[in-house]
Structure 1
Amino acid sequence: MYDDLIGYAQALRLTLESISALPAESLPVWQLTGRIAAEDLCALVDAPSADVSLKDGYAVRSADVARASAASPVRLRLIGAAQAGSRFSGEVAPGTAVRVLSGACVPYGAEAVVSGEFASDDGAWVTVTADAAPGRNILRRGTDVTRGDLVAPAGTRLRPAQVGLLAAAGHGRVPVVRRPKVAIIATGDEVIAPGKALGTGQLYASNLVTLAAWCAHYGFETAVSVVPDQAAAIERCLTTALDECDAVITSGGAWTGERDLVVHLLDGLPWQKVYHKVKLGPGKAVAFGLARGKPVFCLPGGPPSNQMAFLQLALPGLLKLAGYRRPRLPEVAATLAEPVEGQVDWTQFIGGRLERTPTGDLFHPLQLASRLQSMAQAEALLAIPEGTASIPRGARVRVQLLPGVLSATGLDEPLPAWRRRRPAVVSFVAKSGTGKTTFLEKLLPALKARGLRVGVLKHHAHATPFDIPGKDTYRMAQAGADVVVGACSVQVAVFHQEDGSSDLDAVIARHLAGVDLVLVEGYKRGDYAKIEVHRAACHRDLLCRPEELLALITDEPCPASVPQFGLDDVEAVAGFLCEWVGR
């Protein structure tokens, strides 16, 4: 019966390969939050456009106040003033000062600004009680952004602070990917629209409402319809939807029974059917294709199957249509609180709730009798991938967050201090000779260009020190120093005499807490999210199980239901990691 089903990973790949982002539209900057940049956005101007004062105070020459103190104040002649956005027309000569407000252009000749708390004037003379080295309290031109700098790469989902930076960089309007309008059609003689009187045997179109709510969450406009199981009515509705919308989702009638009309009617439109029936539980009856070049998803009518097929296949397709770089639900690492079982030849998804603990998130599978209650209470989804029969309690897993319920579960609340200090950690693993280090050398500049602070933790299993025997730092450590620091004009090296192999979490918390993302190199055993770099000539099989992987960088497609990138796809991997970190 199921011989014609395709695997979930293949279905997802076919979905994303079949859909391209919609054309761009130009919007004013105040309408950009949450929108997807349609092209690389570079600064058009320097910000600030001139050297400006950071404080209310007095613009001076540093040499004039080098010896100023409360015990020995310096007096300078006051020659003028400048407000925010203006510049004093003259020049600060030796022995003179100009009163400046925060945001005022620094006058010609001035080298520093003495804060008002260390100076005062009587209208003619300024009394200064503290020194001011060159550059003190001055924001240099282009410090915030320099003309030509990349502010937001194409595919960036713009956050409020990024929108403000774009405005500072000179943008008044920005090209963004147009958001899709989605037609949602519920079919069935038993289905009625919410708000109408419910007859015997009838049910409200809760699937329709849930799908529309998901679309609203992402800002997609919807056109909703409830249609009886009548071929002519369904065909009219489909035709109208394809005329007026960018994508179509149907709910119900997706299987092969005599009353399952939707796919049969689409076959007659015609449409380019990409697949029908997937090894996805729940949600196997899902179908996908293109009609007039527009994506059409036919979802099964059972609520769990309907929502799961939407979240795992239709939603990624809609997000791809909307220009998202990573068109998937966000993921986090968690520990499995109870064992779970699936079907070894299917990909099974299980809903659950998250419990926050000092050591990380616990995923508790939901086992409620009510299908709708289980869907409503789920905070995250766990995939049991094809080829895996069970996952034991205590296993580290990746779970998908359900963003539509975050505010109801407390996950939108400010994180406790111990979580705020913890950066995202991803471990890059590979067989020796694959090119992992070379790839990371290329990846780091791409991550930095996107505004991430990145740390690297190099781990090796041998009990040999990183310090060089014979060097002074090595000799001081051997003599008993607990910490040795080497400092020069370009680098600071810190050597702690401790076991850095047994508890990498402690090493990260102590030394890398201030970064956004830590790239771990050479740690295959840990519970961190893993990205494997795979080269077929070096190693035919993967080092990691598919369920352990966050993503795969490979020179050939692999049977793993995770995002896969080529060995040269540095920018794509950087964008993927930015989305994963939440930037």
Structure 2
Amino acid sequence: MDMPWNLARETARLAAKPLEGLELPLPDALGLALAAGVQALASQPTCDTSAMDGYAVSGPGPWTIVGRVAAGDAVPEVRLGAGEAFGVATGAPVPDGSDSVIPVELCSVSELSTTGNDLRRGPANPPPGHRDATNLLPGKHIRRRGEDWSAGDELVPAGSLVTPALLGLAAGAGHDSLLVHRRPRAAVIVTGDELLQAGPPRPGRVRDAIGPMLPGLLTGADLLGTTHLRDDPSALVDALISDAADVLVTCGATSVGPADHLRRVLAGLDAEILVSGVACRPGHPMLLAVLPDGRCVVGLPGNPFAALAAVLTLLRPLLDTLSGRTVRPPITAWLGDVNAHPGDTRLIPVTRTGAEAVPVGHDRPGSLWGAALADALAVVPPGHRGGEVELLPF
């Protein structure tokens, strides 16, 4: 009996454990998943700093300017007293005792012969009717020490995908490298006497459409290569036992016909069959197995659209687990009545318009026409008559 679609996908997620972690320099970690959360190695900011070019002041004005500090300078070894000001640049440390920072464009400085430079709010020559809009709320334009985070805080959890923004965050938090899971290695085995690798199809022979499609669907994996085999069980055995990939993806030979050798080959290799058929259309002959050495085999049906359905049902969840990625909340949309099957899950190509999924048609198992026009596959549960459904983006 075929396994329910949701259970098959969850079985694929649980079929393996995340691969080992590697400590990699920041640029090399891009696109991988964190094997450990990113913790702050220092507080941010590390000291009270100015958020504007201007003057740090203490007490009500006017103020006497008693010094100046630039970004990159050490914290001034002074404490501002009431009526004193300190010139500051954006990002510069402010002296102790600073109440707020007045932006440079909102103040004026006059030269005094005895007490130094006198700082006042407002432009030096205000136009008629000018009103001083400077707000001297306590802490205005000062970023206090640890305002963003404190040393030791976890900023990003394990399992998160390393994006360019995450790399910048990690660097800002003091990291030169990150602990990430290595990418799974995948190998593709395409079987079938009827397959052509070039030129137009002809009677009795069809072009291989699955092999060219798969590399772009192996999200987060390294493709070691694609092998094309005739319908020869001994050749299939050799390909399965000799490859060093973490995941072996076979195309075709998953059904029960005389040329469908995969199940018999896996039995001969003492593989554990975790999924042997899924209650979905298309793609129900898909399978998932684990070889005695722990490598996984994902069997895709030979029909191209059915193979795509199997990739999104079994292969992608398996690769996400191996690469250590956290399961993301599902993407959903409203889908009308699409003639749901009474017992099986249907996977149909759709485009998304706002909150609604619109079927594009052309969804026969042997054709990728509809998928090529679509944004995603909609997961249509048995008996669906309209409502929210999950979308599987390509």
Same-fold call, TM > 0.5?
A: yes
Q: Match for 2:11: what amino acid?
A: L
> Among residues 58, 66, 75, which one is paired with 1:79 in the alignment?
66
Tell me: CA distance 1:53–1:327, structure 2 relative to 1, closer, same or farther (3 Å): closer
Q: Match for 1:115: what amino acid?
A: P
Q: Which residue of 2 aligns with 1:190?
A: 194
What aligned pairs does 1:557-572 form with structure 2 within 5 A after superposition? none
Computing the radius of gyration from Cα coordinates, the structure with the larger value is 2
Matched, 1:316 2:317: yes
Does the 8 Å CA contact 2:51/2:142 hold for their aligned counterparts? yes
Matched, 1:92 2:80: yes
What aligned pairs does 1:13-52 form with structure 2 within 5 A after superposition? 13-52=10-49
Tell me: CA distance 1:362–1:9, structure 2 relative to 1, closer, same or farther (3 Å): closer
Tell me the distance in 2 between the aligned counterparts of 1:255 and 1:178. Answer: 33
Tell me the distance in 2 between the aligned counterparts of 1:165 and 1:381. Answer: 34
Does the 8 Å CA contact 2:220/2:319 hold for their aligned counterparts? no
Secondary structure at 2:14 match in 1: helix
Tell me the distance in 2 between the aligned counterparts of 1:79 and 1:364. Answer: 68
Q: Which residue of 1 aligns with 2:129?
A: none
Does the 8 Å CA contact 2:188/2:249 hold for their aligned counterparts? yes
Give CA deviations for 1:164-222 in whole Å, capped at 9, x if unaligned: 222222222111222111111111122243xx45574433322122121111xx23211
Q: Match for 2:80: what amino acid?
A: V
Does the 8 Å CA contact 1:145/1:169 hold for their aligned counterparts? no
Q: Unmatched 5+ residue regions in structure 2?
A: 122-133
Tell me: CA distance 1:157–1:131, structure 2 relative to 1, closer, same or farther (3 Å): closer
Does the 8 Å CA contact 2:380/2:389 hold for their aligned counterparts? no
Q: Which residue of 1 aligns with 2:371?
A: 375
Tell me the distance in 1 between the aligned counterparts of 2:220 and 2:2. Answer: 33
Tell me the distance in 1 between the aligned counterparts of 2:201 and 2:343. Answer: 41
Q: Unmatched 5+ residue regions in structure 1?
A: 66-73, 405-583
Q: Which residue of 2 aligns with 1:355?
A: 353
What aligned pairs does 1:297-446 form with structure 2 within 5 A after superposition? 297-326=298-327, 330-336=330-336, 339-356=337-354, 361-368=355-362, 371-385=367-381, 388-389=382-383, 391-392=384-385, 395-402=386-393, 404=394
Matched, 1:128 2:120: yes
The alignment's C-alpha RMSD in Å is 2.3
Secondary structure at 1:363 match in 2: strand
What aligned pairs does 1:246-285 form with structure 2 within 5 A after superposition? 246-285=246-285
Q: Which residue of 2 aligns with 1:209?
A: 212
The alignment of Structure 1 onto Structure 2 pairs a total of residues equal to 372
How much has 1:89 moved relative to structure 2?
A: 3.5
Does the 8 Å CA contact 1:36/1:323 hold for their aligned counterparts? yes
More helix by share: 1
Tell me the distance in 1 between the aligned counterparts of 2:328 and 2:237. Answer: 30
Tell me: CA distance 1:179–1:198, structure 2 relative to 1, closer, same or farther (3 Å): same
Give CA deviations for 1:106-159 in whole Å, capped at 9, x if unaligned: 113322212101224467403211563331210011112111222111222244
Give CA deviations for 1:228-286 in whole Å, capped at 9, x if unaligned: 22233322222232xx2111110011112121122222222231222322212111111
Tell me the distance in 1 between the aligned counterparts of 2:301 and 2:363. Answer: 20
What aligned pairs does 1:488-503 form with structure 2 within 5 A after superposition? none
Q: Which residue of 2 aligns with 1:59?
A: 56
Give the number of the structure with larger relative contact order, counting CA–CA contacts within 8 Å between residues 6 or more apart: 2
Give the TM-score taking structure 2 as reference length: 0.87
Does the 8 Å CA contact 2:8/2:314 hold for their aligned counterparts? yes
Give CA deviations for 1:511-533 in whole Å, capped at 9, x if unaligned: xxxxxxxxxxxxxxxxxxxxxxx
Secondary structure at 1:250 match in 2: strand
Q: Match for 2:301: what amino acid?
A: P
Give the TM-score taking structure 1 as reference length: 0.60
Give CA deviations for 1:531-579 in whole Å, capped at 9, x if unaligned: xxxxxxxxxxxxxxxxxxxxxxxxxxxxxxxxxxxxxxxxxxxxxxxxx
Q: Match for 1:185: what amino acid?
A: I
Tell me: CA distance 1:38–1:59, structure 2 relative to 1, closer, same or farther (3 Å): same
Give CA deviations for 1:73-106 in whole Å, capped at 9, x if unaligned: x251x33211112133433334432211000001
Secondary structure at 2:213 match in 1: helix
Tell me the distance in 1 between the aligned counterparts of 2:373 and 2:35. Answer: 36
How much has 1:49 moved relative to structure 2?
A: 0.7
Tell me the distance in 1 between the aligned counterparts of 2:345 and 2:274. Answer: 19
Q: Which residue of 2 aligns with 1:116?
A: 104
Q: Would you identify which runs of 4 or more consecutive aligned residues in structure 1 move more than 6 Å?
A: none
